[in-house]
Amino acid sequence: MKNSFALVFTLLNILAVSCANKSADHNSENLTTPAQSKIHAVLHKKFNTQLALPSIAMPQWTAGEKASPKTIVKGAIEGTPTKTVYLQELTKEKFVLLDSTIVDEKGNFSFNISTFTEPTLCFLTFNSANPPGIPIILSHNTKLSLAIKNSGWITYTSEGDKQNKMMNDLYTIYLNHDKNLQDFNREISEIDPSTVTDSLREAVGNRFQSMQKSRTDGIIKFVSSSEGSPASYYAVVFLFQEPNFSLMQVAYDKLKVSLPNSKYTNDLKTTIESIAPLETGGLAPDISLRNMEGTEIKLSSLRGKIVLIDFWASWCGPCRKENPHVVQLYSKYKTKGFEIYGVSLDDNADKWKAAVLKDGLTWTHVSDLRGWQSAAAKKYQVNSIPFTVLLDKNGRIIAKGMRGEELDAKLAELLK
């Protein structure tokens, strides 16, 4: 579940910056669009409205519940009528249903379970086993009390232990960002696409990037200033579309101290080891795929040249829009030791070949025609395209995500 509660923004269609793998998100919402006359005000508006936390009375504990060896979750919920609450364990692959319970006429519910032997990431959802919902952390003998308000956006406060207090703080950081971004999207979506100019596109894009940076900075501050817990694991694994290697390392170092034997600590160690070769300076993992004639071409066969791995697809509008710039770069530098290894995420050979011919792409092209299930895309953890990886003559990674003038300048430096 990358980037939990991610929104599919009309903004991204206006900017046409990338094609994302939407299957990476467990929960997405297509928002309807708002007028050109408002755009200048929108671009200067500060989107920092905070969601109000609920003032619902927190459920109280009886002496018997406090003494119980079981894990107990008690909640009070108001807002959208809720009949059933689902408790699920959150894993990297899926939600695992643990239990469900009926909400009484006063909005109260509870779970009594004996499942947990270590702090475990869980998720509460309402009226459905699917998100949206709220993340919580449960362990042996946890006593967690929740006050929840569901009014389109789900907010909550918790009492019980410091790990759930940290999770509540993290949830508030990214939920407020998502709300502000939805407001932003609704405002700018009033723009008539036919009136969009380059300067307007740049201004909107800059604002979007600023908001994304604010979210990232908030999560980084949280992970860096908190002790290691399942909440910090949740932050680095589920809240970023692309892995943040350095932040994963911070979270792992903290988890090694606080929860050295946790499954989350061990998983982060494995993840970091798998990502390390993809970091700057790492030896790029080899790719071996067939070209359009059916001949297998290895990435490593291009050693001795500066190589750009270009992940793209015929169906990706932003990729096709970028292709003329890539053609210019290839023409400019191909006689100076530059090569492109184009990896297509197509699943239709005819459309792939037609796009290569139409766009005049004369470099090396390979594909396994498996779309987002491409072995190379998985190996390089590609979640959106176009995506590039620039390699030196020894096959080591110089940079990722370079395009346009930035890539031109870097090639000029490397091939001078």
- Rounded CA gap, 379 and 274, in Å? 9
CB 346 within 8 A of CB 19: no
The domain that holds 88 is classified in CATH as 2.60.40.1120
184 phi and psi, to 5 degrees? -60, -45
Q: How high is the mean pLDDT of the chain? A: 86
Residue at 334 is within a domain: yes
Q: Is residue 274 part of a domain?
A: no
Q: Is there a domain that residue 228 lies in? A: no
Q: Please indicate whether residue 29 or residue 153 has the higher confidence score (pLDDT).
A: 153
Q: What is the pLDDT of residue 219?
A: 95
Residue 50: CB partners within 8 Å, gap ≥ 6?
176
- Dihedral angle computed from the Cα positions of residues 336, 337, 340 and 341, in that order, rounded to the nearest 10 degrees: 170
Q: What is the pLDDT of residue 49?
A: 61
Which one is predicted more confidently, 186 or 109?
109
The pLDDT tens digits of the residues spanning 67-94 come to: 787 899 999 999 999 999 999 999 988 9
Of the candidates 141, 158, 175, which is a domain's last residue?
Answer: 158
**What is the CATH number for 353?**
3.40.30.10
Taking the C-alpha atoms of residue 264 and residue 252, their distance in angstroms, rounded to an integer, is 9
Q: Which domain holds residue 338?
A: 288-414
- Given 158, 182, 212, which residue is the final one in a domain? 158
pLDDT for position 18: 64
The reported pLDDT for the residue numbered 181 is: 86
Which of residues 192 and 270 earns the better pLDDT score?
270
Least confident of 48-62, 85-99, 106-120: 48-62
Q: For a pLDDT cut of 90, what percent of the chain falls above it? A: 65
- DSSP for 267-336? HHHHHHHHHGGGSTTSBPPP-EEE-TTS-EEEGGGGTTSEEEEEEE-TT-HHHHHHHHHHHHHHHHHGGG
Domain count, the chain: 2
pLDDT at 20: 67
Which of 17-21, 181-185, 288-292 is the least confident region?
17-21
The stretch 262-279 carries a mean pLDDT of: 91
In this structure, of 12-26, 133-147, 262-276, 378-392, the range with the lowest mean pLDDT score is 12-26
Note if the bond before 69 is cis, omega within 30 degrees.
no
Query: Whose structure tokens read 């932050």?
Result: 235
List the Cα angle 153/154/157 in 5-degree steps: 140
Domain stop point among 158, 180, 215 = 158
The average pLDDT across 157-184 equals 92
Residue 140 is assigned to a structural domain of this protein: yes
Q: Is the residue at 248 inside a domain?
A: no
Question: For residues 244 and 346, which has the higher predicted lDDT (pLDDT)?
Answer: 346
Question: Of 61-65, 165-169, 175-179, 312-316, which gets the smallest average pLDDT?
Answer: 61-65
- 304 in any annotated domain: yes
Angle formed by the axes of helices 245-258 and 230-238, to 10°?
Answer: 160
The span from the CA of 66 to the CA of 41, in Å, is 53
Flag whether 374 is in a domain.
Answer: yes
Distance, CA of 416 to CA of 413 (rounded, Å): 6
Residue 186 domain-assigned? no
User: What predicted TM-score, i.e. pTM, was given to this entire model?
Assistant: 0.71
Please report the sign of the dihedral spanned by the C-alpha atoms of residue 254, residue 256, residue 262, residue 266: positive
- Say whether 27 sits in a helix, a strand or coil: coil
Strand partners, 133: 125
Q: What Rg do the C-alpha atoms of the chain give, in angstroms? A: 24
